[in-house]
Amino acid sequence: MARVAIITGGTRGIGEAISLALRDLGITVAANYGGNATRAADFTARTGIPSYRWDVCDFDACQAGCAQVAADLGEVDIVVNNAGITRDGTILKMSYDDWKEVIDTNLGGCFNMAKAVFPGMRQRKWGRIVNIGSINGQAGQYGQVNYAAAKSGIHGFTKALAQEGARAGVTVNAIAPGYIDTDMVAAVPPDVLEKIVAKIPVGRLGQASEIARGVVFLVSEEGGFITGSTLSINGGQHMY
């Protein structure tokens, strides 16, 4: 049976790698994006994967966006909540807007998307939700009380929702990436990045494709006995 997947933040970085990996499995993929229409158009032209614009912070937009994907491509079987932003700063310098935007996007977006697709998944007795957390949601990070709180919240959200979906054939899992070689990490000053890499036991940054392979496993039929779990892909930087 052909499956339909939505990847939020799916046109760049880790999201793009996930979109491509699922497409290559024969899954029909819709890549959501929030802002850069030019980049999304380029992504669609290169990959053949349709891109849909809506803000995951907006509950009604998520309802409408998921309904549009279902009308265009078929009922949504898989959602990967990958969209995320940073607004870093110590709490002394962090504004309320910096806090709220990160919480609303990184954590609120997971609720908004799940709310849109979960009823249909339960009704059809099959579904996969994968939420992209972070090593910094597990271990914390200086200057990221907003981001760490949102990503930590994702792990609790995952465990709770997994219990609601399990008997209906809907699995809910999370992946907690470490430092991955993406545009976001590339923006880190070189001297800081060097110190980060020095703390990674395998001695390098991760690749977006390595996160995508984790998603591929969790959304597969073979992954059906895994739910409420967090898969840490971080090169050994944080173990517990």
Which residues are catalytic, by number?
A: 147
Residue 23 tokens, joined: 């497409």
Three-class SS state of 117: helix
Task: Tell me the C-alpha distance between 80 and 12, whole Å.
Answer: 14
User: In which residue are the tokens 């760049």 written?
Assistant: 12
Q: Residue 168 corresponds to which amino acid?
A: A
CA 96, 101, 102, 103 dihedral sign is: positive
By the 8 A CB rule, do 155 and 106 touch? no
By the 8 A CB rule, do 142 and 128 touch? no
Q: Which residues contact 194 (CB under 8 A, 6 or more apart)?
A: none
According to DSSP, the residues that pair with 29 across neighbouring strands are: 5
Indicate the Cα dihedral angle 190, 188, 93, 110, nearest 10°: -160
Task: Tell me the C-alpha distance between 112 and 108, whole Å.
Answer: 6
